[in-house]
Amino acid sequence: MVKDDELLVGLDIGTTKICVVVGKGSEGKVSIVGIGSHPSTGLRKGVVVNMDSTVNSIKKAVEEAELMAGIKIDSCLAGIGGGHIKSFNSNGVVAIKDKEVKAEDIARAIDAAKAVAIPADRELIHVIPQEFIVDDQDGIKDPVGITGVRLEVKVHIVTGNISSAQNIIKCCKLAGLTVDDIILGQLASAEATLTPEEKEIGAALVDIGGGTSDIAVFSNGSIKYTSVLPFGGNSITNDIAIGLRTPIDDAEKIKKKYGCAFSNMVGANETIEVPSVGGRKPRTLQRKTLADIIEPRVEEVAGLIYEEIKKSGQEKLLASGVIITGGCANLEGMPELAESIFNLPARRGSPMGVGGLVDVVNNPAYATGVGLLIYGFKNTKGRRRGFDAGRSMKRLFSGQKLLNRMGEWFKEIF
């Protein structure tokens, strides 16, 4: 559990903002003690495309967080996202050596489950146990000590482009940070916004940011499916800029101030003022016109998200419905539109389960940053990997380190 006074730093490198969240263990809980956020211009659809501006934004966000927390930050847990992320489920079977399951049997089973061909340009980011099966008994969360002859593990494997992960590590290094671990963005967001009950009875987490929509489907308390779609709120802003013939910056402001994803929720008499391009006078328009531009785009993205949720094969089992987080969750009418498309209950997910500067992080846009900390406190203690840009992650996953990491995963996940 969370050790008192232990400090961790989460670094969410997003397409629109880079956010650093500092957390401290306090009375068994994560207490937020600092946050820094700076606009991000060096990423496209969740992937670093400009090192200099990304490094610069990281430095600015770190400085801000350092000032607020009153500490010097030199390491972090970094989030990873982008369309290059590919995930799948796998299983591994081994004979139980001494008729009673031991940690080594579990490590061997997980090793067998991850022994699948992964293309040379990709590497493992997570291998997460979902459940264990001893002989014919399935649904076991912790098989240690159980008697049997055959141990099977079902795992969820997340892979990503080697270069994308290394670019994150390089940016951090240039900004003066070592990366203790790399964590899939939506796994972090889920930690901050879903309750254990929701994960148990089935829920889909959807983090809609500026450049990507990140999906994670949970049931029976474990992760079943993850996926990243290369669409987010930036497409809505572009549509508004084109539809209302207004500059992008104004379109972004208009979206945040007056936007609504569900046009039925907008009154017929509501009007908005829209700046024009080329020095022309501002115009007054019906707010419904704006909602009519936003709704089809959100519908399209929600439709694609639903297709992904269906691919998980769990869509009929999601009794807790859909939890929408990320900056776009702030858009008025978002849960209402999502409910109509998914035919499932939907709610906004803001970071929860933390103490300290709760008001400062009380925004769905901070779900990943806060979640990185919660995930870190739960999972990474004792296995700081010290990622290094020059080193291949594969080596870090070999031999004893692999066993340690698997063992930690196993211990912490359940």
Residues near ligand ATP (CB under 6 A): 14-17, 40, 46, 81, 209-212, 232-234, 237, 252, 255-256, 259, 326-328, 330-331, 365
**Nearest-approach distance from CB 193 to Mg ion, in angstroms:** 12
Residue among 238 and 276 whose Cβ is closer to ligand ATP: 238
What is the token pair recorded at 126?
């997570």
Residue nearest to Mg ion (CB): 209
**Nearest-approach distance from CB 148 to ligand ATP, in angstroms:** 43
What is the token pair recorded at 11?
């670094």
Entry field: residues in the chain: 414
Closest to 187 (Cα-Cα) out of 24, 8, 12: 12
Closest to 221 (Cα-Cα) out of 203, 247, 248, 240: 203
What is the token pair recorded at 4?
């008192």
Q: How far is CA 358 from CA 2, 23, 30, 63, 75, in A?
A: 17, 11, 11, 20, 23
**Nearest-approach distance from CB 179 to ligand ATP, in angstroms:** 17
Q: Which does 263 bind (CB under 5 to 8 A by kind): Mg ion, ligand ATP, none?
A: none
Nearest-angstrom CA–CA distance, 97 and 242: 65
**Nearest-approach distance from CB 81 to Mg ion, in angstroms:** 6
Half-sphere exposure of 71 (CA within 13 A, CB side): 20
Residue among 112 and 323 whose Cβ is closer to Mg ion: 323
Residue among 365 and 393 whose Cβ is closer to ligand ATP: 365
Residue among 109 and 217 whose Cβ is closer to Mg ion: 217
One of 10, 143, 202, 209 touching Mg ion (CB under 5 A): 209
Q: Is 161 helix (H, G, I), strand (E, B) or coil?
A: strand
Q: Which does 331 bind (CB under 5 to 8 A by kind): ligand ATP, Mg ion, none?
A: ligand ATP
Residue among 356 and 371 whose Cβ is closer to Mg ion: 371
Nearest-angstrom CA–CA distance, 36 and 260: 28
- Rule CB under 5 A: say whether 376 interacts with Mg ion: no
Q: Which does 255 bind (CB under 5 to 8 A by kind): ligand ATP, Mg ion, none?
A: ligand ATP
Residue among 112 and 367 whose Cβ is closer to ligand ATP: 367
Residue among 109 and 323 whose Cβ is closer to Mg ion: 323
**Number of residues engaging Mg ion in binding (CB under 5 A):** 2
Pairing state between β 150-161 and 271-274:
unpaired
For residues 210 and 232, is the Cβ–Cβ distance under 8 A? yes
Q: Read off the DSSP letter of residue 275.
A: P
Pairing state between β 7-13 and 29-39:
unpaired
Q: Looking at residues 5 to 34 of the shown chain, list those that interact with Mg ion (rule: CB under 5 A).
A: 14
Nearest-angstrom CA–CA distance, 212 and 186: 11
Residues making contact with Mg ion (CB under 5 A): 14, 209
